[in-house]
A and B are shown apart, each in its own frame.
Chain A
Amino acid sequence: MTSLLVFLAILAAVALVVAFLIRIPSVATTLARMRRLDRRWIFLAVWVLVMVPLLFPLKLPVAPTARAMQYYEQIDRLKAGDIVLLSADFDPAAGPELVPMLKTSIMQLCRKKVRIVGDCLWPGGPPLLEQAFSEVARDTFHYRYGEDYVNLGFKEGREAVMLAMGNSIPGTFPSDFRGTPVSKLPLMGKVTNLRSVKLLVNVSAGYPGTKEWVQQTQSRFNLKIISGCTAVSAPEYYAYLQSGQLLGLLGGMAGAAEYEKMAGVTGAATKGMDAQSSVHLLVMLCILLGNLAHWAARRLGER
């Protein structure tokens, strides 16, 4: 309580000092002049505040939220031999946010000895899924392709593909991403449709993604869904989380870092959180300084 009061007192003191200073013409003139600040200084500040924490980590503490815990627990409840569908619906633009949570998800699934059927509804995504499978499932956990995991690759059709998978996954994906008929993959012999998977782990950057999976398949096929998504799309999925249609949610790099903390790994997301913290502070500072400059200019009668 004391620290909160100190924090609020500092805020109030700063506000009072600023309100007083802005009445001094020379200070107001200096602040007003900031409106003409070359934006390249801001770009330089962003660059420095990203690079320095990446090179010299601050190791700020990451605290998992309830949403991330639910995500972790849903995978933790699976039993060895269960089959999950891992839909990696994103492309490299969202890679820095989503690849860490994709890799950690595969790692947790492999630790639980769960078998994974992977697919992708974004054309630019299959190599990212394959790289994650190769690095984590094949090289680290020695998963065997075709028996422990399968990569079905990309299929165009968006919501139609989701619905068709509800009817028949081998019918929708007759061959895997290499062109091997799924009838030759032992794991696919145990997969009929969406009702035969225990969980859908969706890593999503937008459309088609989590929203469409929930709308098209959740109630229709009684599918359990957890989602890892970009920070910008997470607010849209809170409604599905509250209604129970989503059972866990990782939002952006922060969500991925929380998940890494629970999984006991220090991955790219955890390393990136220091940089994100410092840039958030810079953005806040920019909002405050920009408005101070604006108020000072108004006080001086400038437009």
Chain B
Amino acid sequence: MQRQIPLILTGVIGFVMLLYFFVPHPFISGPGHFFEDAVIIVVAFAIVLGAANLLTFNGEIIARRGKDWPYKVVLLVSMFAMIAIGLVEGERYLEPETVFSWMYNTFYASMQATMFALLAFFIASAAFRAFRIRNLEAGLLAVAALFVMLGRVPIGNVISAHWPNGIQLPQISDWIMENPQNSAKRAILMGAALGVMSTGLRIIMGIEGSFARSGGNS
């Protein structure tokens, strides 16, 4: 039963949601709206579950002084500090003058922006060390990259300002993005969509039941 019940629930709900997309009749849309709301509630519980998991996982490492335990302390202290400050400041916690906003802007936003900004350094380093033109395909990729990188920034406008209309760097960049790039991307999107459809149908019809196997056998 531990396997059958989840499969039946998945099949029934999946079938209703599939119909709900095409059939606006209240007989279908009523349960459809209910399942939509249910998903939002279940996912909200998952946040609590995630926080509890974070606490137990890192708490255990801190207790036995495991690898990088001081960082785990920082993580948990930061999490509880943000929660506590948000609760104390109440409904106006997002106002610009609050401590919560100060901590958000000073720590969270700065650290996230720093992590993202580091990419620029590593991309430049990787371009020097790893981008090797060993064959025709790599050569084409390099040429396309050069045109797109130049065409997407103002320096490309300056370089090709007096070139004939139609072959200026931004226009070449746009052509690459809208034709070869878009064709390949669209093919990937269609392939992925077909894969999602087939996996979805397998799950709804109970053929793909691997997600329900961890519960053990009845």
> What is the size category of the interface that chain B forms with chain A?
35 or more
A222 interface residue (CB < 8 Å to B)? no
A286 B128 Cβ-Cβ under 8 A: yes
Shortest beta-carbon distance from B203 to chain A in Å: 16
A127/B104 in contact, CB under 8 A: yes
Given A42-B125, A235-B185, A287-B142: A96 in contact with B154 (beta carbons within 8 A)? no
Give a binary string over B159-172; 1 marks a CB under 8 Å from any A CB, 0 the rest: 11111100100100
Residue of chain B at shortest CB distance from A220: B21
Contacts of A180 in B (CB 8 A): 91
Docked Cα-Cα span, A179 to B144, in Å, equals: 50
| CB closest residue in chain B, given A239 | B186
Interface segment among A23-31, A43-51, A69-77, A109-117: the answer is A43-51
* A4 & B164 in contact (Cβ 8 Å cutoff): yes
Q: What are 24 A-B contacts defined by CB distance under 8 Å?
A: A7-B160, A37-B128, A42-B124, A42-B125, A43-B121, A46-B120, A61-B161, A131-B101, A157-B40, A160-B39, A160-B40, A164-B37, A167-B33, A167-B36, A235-B177, A236-B185, A238-B181, A239-B182, A254-B152, A257-B154, A273-B154, A286-B125, A287-B128, A290-B127
A residues contacting B by CB (< 8 A) are 1-4, 7, 37, 39, 42-43, 45-47, 50, 60-63, 65-66, 91-96, 124, 126-128, 130-131, 134, 155-158, 160-161, 163-164, 167, 171-172, 177-180, 220, 231, 235-236, 238-239, 242, 254, 257, 273-274, 276-284, 286-287, 289-291, 294
Contact A283 B149 (CB under 8 A): yes
A161 to B133, CA, bound (A): 46
Q: Is B131 an interface residue (CB 8 A)?
A: yes
Report which B residues bind A (CB closer than 8 A): 21, 33, 36-37, 39-40, 43-44, 46-47, 91-92, 94-96, 101, 104-105, 108-110, 112-113, 115-117, 120-121, 123-125, 127-133, 142, 145-146, 149-150, 152-155, 157-164, 167, 170, 174, 177-178, 181-182, 185-186, 189
Shortest distance in angstroms between A43's beta carbon and chain B's nearest beta carbon?
5
